[in-house]
């Protein structure tokens, strides 16, 4: 699953040291975590990182690229649960719930660079201090809140609201990792991904997206998105 790179890629050069896994670990313990790193890997787009049903023993920290959690259903249906962006911890779940058999899979959305650790090692390090544990719990909380919002979106909002909500949440998620500037950020999702996240079809996503663009609320460049009228977008997200 992708080749193991040489050790020239150091954690020190990594622009994402702060936001990723390291946020759970005190500065003086970071040397310890670096030494635990098992591998640094590149993986292509559209590759399964964690197949449904497995209990991962490896923990991945996402340095570059995007991934997503999803479940496949009979009849060519697919539901995307959440997107994973640079600085996020893939399989965060296995830190929170060791021995958790994933009821969904994780897939790469773009080519990806990730650092690999043993789940047990990290759990031990994180649990060593209450404040590190608290940082992890914060992340778990955000995760839970995001699932809650998704249930609400899917249950009680229509296409426009769901899509606006998704865009706003991605902006927020990226902003937390300092990957957003002037309401502009990387946006590698195909319309099919938006559809599978919002419970729609790509044809309908297309229609809604065109509308939103025609109203000059957002601008979509090549793999990039800019929010032009933030307030109007929030309005749609809440009302629709």
Partner DNA sequence: CGGATAGTTGACAAGCCTCAAGCTCAGTGG
Partner DNA sequence: CCACTGAGCTTGAGGCTTGTCAACTATCCG
Nearest to its own copies of 102, 117 (CB atom): 102
79 binds, among DNA, its own copies, none (CB under 5 to 8 A by kind): its own copies
Query: Of the candidates 206, 228, 229, 232, which one interacts with DNA according to CB under 7 A?
Result: 206
Least CB distance to DNA at residue 167 (A)? 14
Q: How far is CA 140 from the centre of its chain?
A: 13
150 binds, among its own copies, DNA, none (CB under 5 to 8 A by kind): its own copies
Q: Please, which residues bridge with residue 107 across strands?
A: 48, 68
Select from 51, 171, 162, 56 the least CA-distant residue to 108: 51
Q: Which stretch binds DNA (CB under 7 A): 12-20, 84-92, 111-119, 208-216?
A: 208-216
201 binds, among its own copies, DNA, none (CB under 5 to 8 A by kind): DNA
* Binding flag, residue 73, DNA (CB under 7 A): no
Nearest to DNA of 33, 209 (CB atom): 209
141 binds, among DNA, its own copies, none (CB under 5 to 8 A by kind): its own copies
User: How far is residue 134 from each of residues 62, 85, 117, 145, 193, measured CA to CA in Å?
Assistant: 21, 22, 20, 16, 32
What DSSP state is assigned to residue 4? B
Beta strands in 119-195 (DSSP E): 180-181, 184-186
Site string for DNA, 140-159 (x = CB under 7 A): ------------------xx
> Strand 48-50's sheet: what is its strand order?
48-50, 105-108, 67-73, 77-84
Contact (Cβ atoms closer than 8 angstroms) between residue 194 and residue 203? no
User: How far is residue 148 from each of residues 27, 96, 158, 234, measured CA to CA in Å?
Assistant: 33, 18, 16, 18
Q: Which stretch binds DNA (CB under 7 A): 8-16, 31-39, 78-86, 185-193?
A: 185-193
Rounded to whole angstroms, how far apart are CA atoms 32 and 49? 25
Query: Which residues, 6+ apart, have CB-to-CB distance to 178 below 8 Å?
Result: 19
Q: How far is CA 63 from the centre of its chain?
A: 11
Contact (Cβ atoms closer than 8 angstroms) between residue 21 and residue 122? yes
Nearest to DNA of 3, 190 (CB atom): 190
Binding interface with its own copies (CB under 8 A): 71, 73-75, 77-79, 81, 93, 96-97, 100, 103-104, 137, 140-141, 144-145, 147-152, 154-157, 196-199, 238-239
140 binds, among DNA, its own copies, none (CB under 5 to 8 A by kind): its own copies
Least CB distance to its own copies at residue 110 (A)? 22
Binding region for DNA (CB under 7 A): 158-160, 190-192, 199-204, 206-210, 222
């Amino acid at each position: 699953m992708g080749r193991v790179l040489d050790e020239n890629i150091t954690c020190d050069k990594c622009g994402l040291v702060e936001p990723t896994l390291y946020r759970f670990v005190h500065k003086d313990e970071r040397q310890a975590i670096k030494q635990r790193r098992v591998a640094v890997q590149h993986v292509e787009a559209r590759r399964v990182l964690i197949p449904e049903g497995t209990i991962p023993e490896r923990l991945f920290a996402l340095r570059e690229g995007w991934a997503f959690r999803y479940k496949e259903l009979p009849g060519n249906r697919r539901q995307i649960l959440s997107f994973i962006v640079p600085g996020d911890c893939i399989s965060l779940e296995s830190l929170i719930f060791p021995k958790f058999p994933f009821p969904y899979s994780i897939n790469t959305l773009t080519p990806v660079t990730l650092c690999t650790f043993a789940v047990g090692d990290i759990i031990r390090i994180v649990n060593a201090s209450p404040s590190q544990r608290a940082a992890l719990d914060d992340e778990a909380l955000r995760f839970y809140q995001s699932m809650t919002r998704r249930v609400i979106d899917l249950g009680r909002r229509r296409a426009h609201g769901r899509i606006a909500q998704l865009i706003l949440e991605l902006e927020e998620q990226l902003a937390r990792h300092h990957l957003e500037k002037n309401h502009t950020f990387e946006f590698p999702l195909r319309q099919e991904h938006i559809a599978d996240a919002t419970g729609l079809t790509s044809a309908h996503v297309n229609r809604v997206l065109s509308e939103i663009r025609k109203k000059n609320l957002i601008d979509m460049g090549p793999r990039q998105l800019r929010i032009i009228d933030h307030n109007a977008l929030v309005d749609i997200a809440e009302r629709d």
